[in-house]
A and B are shown apart, each in its own frame.
Chain A
Amino acid sequence: MTNLEIWTYLVVGITFALYIGIAIWARAGTTGEFYVAGGGVHPVLNGMATGADWMSAASFISMAGLIAFNGYGASVFLMGWTGGYVLLALLLAPYLRKFGKFTVPEFIGDRYYSNTARIVAVACLIIASITYVIGQMKGVGVAFSRFLETDYDTGLYIGMGIVFVYAVMGGMKGITYTQVAQYVVLIFAYTVPAVFISLQLTGHVFPQTGLGATMSGDSTYLLEKLDQVLVEIGFTQYTTTVMGSDLNMFAYTLSLMIGTAGLPHVIVRFFTVPRVRDARQSAGWALVFIAILYTTAPAVGAMAIYNLVKTMQPGDQVGVTESYLAYEERPEWFKKWENTGLLEFEDKNNDGRITYYNDKNPEFAAEMEAKGFAGNEMVKIDRDIMVLANPEIAKLPNWVVALVVAGGLAAALSTAAGLLLAIASAISHDLLKGVFMPNISEKNELMASRVSMAFAIVVAGFLGLNPPGFAAGTVALAFGLAASSLFPALMLGIFYKRMNNTGAIAGMSAGIGVTMLYVFQHKGIFFIPGTDFLGGMEPNWFLGISPNAFGVVGAIVNFAVAIIVAKVTVEPPEHIQHLVEDIRVPKGAGVATGH
């Protein structure tokens, strides 16, 4: 075993032992503990747990790469995935906490005095959560297979086993306290390499200020230099590259924000704090803990792409053979990541050197061709490399690399557990107890929730082992569904007393319908290739809005249809109007209950 492997086994082993230890300590004995951790979680701890719950394998591994290759355009993810917490904290969390039940569909069912509404909410929750959880399971398998040289399947089984132990045993209680530990692991793993790289490039300890600072031993600003380097090789400026039109960026950001606020596994975390005022505050703490990573990520992205370009092109003169790195002299990390297929080099002009530039830019490609280059030779740079290889590119010690592996696993496992709990409680509490077996005893319900949890883990594992071809496309659907169905139904339920069952159901159906239709027409019916009857290409997009950014349109349709239908149908019964009045004031909030 190499030194790196020993470190990796050691660090991953210690963190896993910690999670299991916490699980044994925090076993759930009642349904209240299983669904909402007994309702006694401190707001700061809940904030940390929410951070881990929210930040997935995608946030940890992929986001910095998205930023690196999209520059300013990637701001939609940064603002979208944080700004949603403002909506959550101001419009939903305190009121849903006051309502004081166990699940999101339960609120919708009670508020709209309708089992149909509750079942629609359960369906949205399950579709959104399952698509999300596939990504986490894949993340676990990938982290294991790349760093520990086990195969993907073994890695996934180990991950499933760990989640099984602490989620089935501890329910929300076990998940909450492991998420706190996982947050600490992941944030440490993310910031340590970032601090070192920021110090190397700019001399700043904080990556957040390093990104706006001058380069070490130079008076040029890092961002200025990066703009210049990228423009020289045919790309657009880092700080001004956009993602589609202004309208698309606007819609994309808003869809992610509304989707974030409407995701049940995040909302339910705010059911675990003791009081309404804790729910308000806890959302703030959650965003503090999330912001530590989200404000570091832009620096990681910018510095990583700079380092990467400079590695391949150590000389300053573009288009001169001697400026480029000889393939024979490529660094160790380059070879390692070539083996995994995340980096791919093809010597198109047979000069034995690595030439990286934008050959999709016709003018620049022609210019380079005149100088004897036959196209971009880095035929593949997987964006995940920006985080995974970062410590090696910066020549950091092996324990830092091991830490990044443990951090990635923590991010994937914590999000997976939160999602699995949301799925399990929707099945046992909403479907079983709420609709089909109202007389089930607490003991049997607890058993049912553990069985549903185990079942959900097996399904998630199966989908992780046999990822459906459409896994990537479904992410749009997860956010789209949360934005177009759950968020409007929840918000109207609190802020519009007149909203009735018919309006809410019509609104949800219309919102989901429009969003699904749009995603399917551009990405294929149920993502089956070839059935995308309008094509995936940009010219066919409605007002230039990409399918991933369409959730907000679905939400608007939902709001409009719900309000119009509610206005022409009978108003909700008196006790429902009292319920709305009651959730609007904090006084009288007890611990969450199931009845």
Chain B
Amino acid sequence: MSDKSMAAYWKANLRLLAICLVIWFIVSYGFGILLVGPLNSISIAGYPLGFWFAQQGSIYTFVALIFFYAWRMNKLDREFGVQED
């Protein structure tokens, strides 16, 4: 693989990483800790929303994030022809 496409592949990976980590940060540190007070004034069924993010929602999001990243990276590997045979 050429240096140029290698650099492009890595850049695309870093971009994807940044997006995923921003979401990771928002659902846990954002919704679960920093904004928990205001969010708790909204209730989903019997769950105050901030509390739900801290004890349930963030965990579900983490799971989804990992699969999303794996799926996008596998696609990226094929686009750049660096997938395993």
Interface residues in A567-587 by Cβ distance below 8 A to B read: 581, 584-587
User: Is there an interface contact between A79 and B17, defined as CB atoms closer than 8 Å?
Assistant: no
- Verify if A214 is at the interface (C-beta below 8 Å from B): yes
Q: Chain A 279-292 against B: per-residue CB contact (8 Å), 1 yes, 0 no? A: 01101100110010
- Verify if A154 is at the interface (C-beta below 8 Å from B): no
Q: Chain A 134-151 against B: per-residue CB contact (8 Å), 1 yes, 0 no? A: 000000000000000000
- Give the complex CA separation of A508 and B82 in angstroms: 33
Interface residues in A298-336 by Cβ distance below 8 A to B read: 298
Q: List 12 A-B contacts (CB under 8 A).
A: A82-B62, A86-B65, A90-B17, A223-B48, A250-B29, A250-B33, A253-B32, A276-B84, A280-B73, A287-B66, A586-B77, A588-B84
- For B, the interface residue count at a CB cutoff of 8 angstroms equals 43
- Verify if A593 is at the interface (C-beta below 8 Å from B): no
* Contact A213-B84, Cβ < 8 Å, known A79-B32, A283-B66, A287-B63: no
- Verify if A381 is at the interface (C-beta below 8 Å from B): no
User: Is there an interface contact between B47 and A223, defined as CB atoms closer than 8 Å?
Assistant: yes
User: Is there an interface contact between A72 and B70, defined as CB atoms closer than 8 Å?
Assistant: no
User: Is there an interface contact between A280 and B44, defined as CB atoms closer than 8 Å?
Assistant: no
Count chain A CB atoms within 10 A of each CB in B17, B55, B63 and give the residue with the most.
B55
User: Is there an interface contact between A85 and B33, defined as CB atoms closer than 8 Å?
Assistant: no
- Verify if A160 is at the interface (C-beta below 8 Å from B): no
Q: Chain B 22-63 against A: per-residue CB contact (8 Å), 1 yes, 0 no? A: 001000110011101000100011111001101110111011
Q: Chain A 260-283 against B: per-residue CB contact (8 Å), 1 yes, 0 no? A: 000000000000000111001101
Query: What is the distance, in angstroms, from A552's C-beta to the closest C-beta of chain B?
Result: 12
User: Is there an interface contact between B24 and A83, defined as CB atoms closer than 8 Å?
Assistant: yes
Enumerate chain A interface residues (CB-CB to B < 8 A). 67, 72, 75, 78-79, 82-83, 85-86, 89-91, 94, 208-209, 211-214, 221-224, 239-240, 246, 249-250, 253-254, 275-277, 280-281, 283-284, 287-288, 291, 294-295, 298, 581, 584-589
Partner of B63, one of A79, A90, A223, A291: A291
A residues within 8 A CB of B29? 250, 253-254
Query: What is the distance, in angstroms, from B78's C-beta to the closest C-beta of chain A?
Result: 10
- Give the complex CA separation of A288 and B60 in angstroms: 9
Residue of B nearest to A585 (CB): B82
User: Is there an interface contact between A78 and B54, defined as CB atoms closer than 8 Å?
Assistant: yes
User: Is there an interface contact between B84 and A86, defined as CB atoms closer than 8 Å?
Assistant: no
Query: What is the distance, in angstroms, from A541's C-beta to the closest C-beta of chain B?
Result: 18
User: Is there an interface contact between B46 and A86, defined as CB atoms closer than 8 Å?
Assistant: no
- Give the complex CA separation of A86 and B62 in angstroms: 6
User: Is there an interface contact between B34 and A295, defined as CB atoms closer than 8 Å?
Assistant: no
Residue of B nearest to A72 (CB): B51
User: Is there an interface contact between A212 and B36, defined as CB atoms closer than 8 Å?
Assistant: no
User: Is there an interface contact between B28 and A79, defined as CB atoms closer than 8 Å?
Assistant: yes
Label chain B's interface by main secondary structure: helix
Query: What is the distance, in angstroms, from B70's C-beta to the closest C-beta of chain A?
Result: 4
Interface residues in B2-26 by Cβ distance below 8 A to A read: 6, 9-10, 13, 17, 20-21, 24
Partner of A212, one of B24, B40, B44: B44
A residues within 8 A CB of B34? 246, 250
- Give the complex CA separation of A470 and B73 in angstroms: 44
Count chain A CB atoms within 10 A of each CB in B20, B21, B46, B81 and give the residue with the most.
B46
User: Is there an interface contact between B60 and A280, defined as CB atoms closer than 8 Å?
Assistant: no
User: Is there an interface contact between B47 and A86, defined as CB atoms closer than 8 Å?
Assistant: no
- Give the complex CA separation of A308 and B83 in angstroms: 55
Total A-B pairs, Cβ < 8 A: 139
User: Is there an interface contact between B46 and A214, defined as CB atoms closer than 8 Å?
Assistant: yes
* Contact A294-B1, Cβ < 8 Å, known A72-B51, A85-B66, A587-B83: no
* Contact A253-B33, Cβ < 8 Å, known A208-B56, A586-B82: yes
Count chain A CB atoms within 10 A of each CB in B13, B33, B47 and give the residue with the most.
B33
User: Is there an interface contact between A89 and B83, defined as CB atoms closer than 8 Å?
Assistant: no
User: Is there an interface contact between B9 and A585, defined as CB atoms closer than 8 Å?
Assistant: yes
- Give the complex CA separation of A284 and B69 in angstroms: 9
- Give the complex CA separation of A278 and B63 in angstroms: 15
- Give the complex CA separation of A91 and B73 in angstroms: 13
- Give the complex CA separation of A250 and B33 in angstroms: 7
User: Is there an interface contact between A277 and B70, defined as CB atoms closer than 8 Å?
Assistant: yes
- Give the 5 A-B residue pairs with the shortest CB-CB distance, closest first: A221-B46, A75-B54, A280-B70, A284-B66, A212-B47
Count chain B CB atoms within 10 A of each CB in A75, A221, A240, A288 and give the residue with the most.
A75
User: Is there an interface contact between A589 and B47, defined as CB atoms closer than 8 Å?
Assistant: no
Partner of A83, one of B10, B17, B28, B73: B28
Residue of A nearest to B68 (CB): A284
Query: What is the distance, in angstroms, from A583's C-beta to the closest C-beta of chain B?
Result: 11
A residues within 8 A CB of B74? 277, 280
Query: What is the distance, in angstroms, from B64's C-beta to the closest C-beta of chain A?
Result: 9
Residue of A nearest to B65 (CB): A86
- Give the complex CA separation of A78 and B58 in angstroms: 9
A residues within 8 A CB of B32? 75, 79, 253
Query: What is the distance, in angstroms, from B13's C-beta to the closest C-beta of chain A?
Result: 8
B residues within 8 A CB of A250? 29, 33-34
Query: What is the distance, in angstroms, from B40's C-beta to the closest C-beta of chain A?
Result: 7
User: Is there an interface contact between A295 and B6, defined as CB atoms closer than 8 Å?
Assistant: no
User: Is there an interface contact between B46 and A85, defined as CB atoms closer than 8 Å?
Assistant: no
* Contact A79-B77, Cβ < 8 Å, known A89-B69, A213-B45, A275-B84: no
User: Is there an interface contact between A587 and B82, defined as CB atoms closer than 8 Å?
Assistant: yes
Query: What is the distance, in angstroms, from A510's C-beta to the closest C-beta of chain B?
Result: 24
- Give the complex CA separation of A79 and B70 in angstroms: 21
- Give the complex CA separation of A348 and B64 in angstroms: 52
* Contact A288-B63, Cβ < 8 Å, known A223-B46, A587-B83: yes
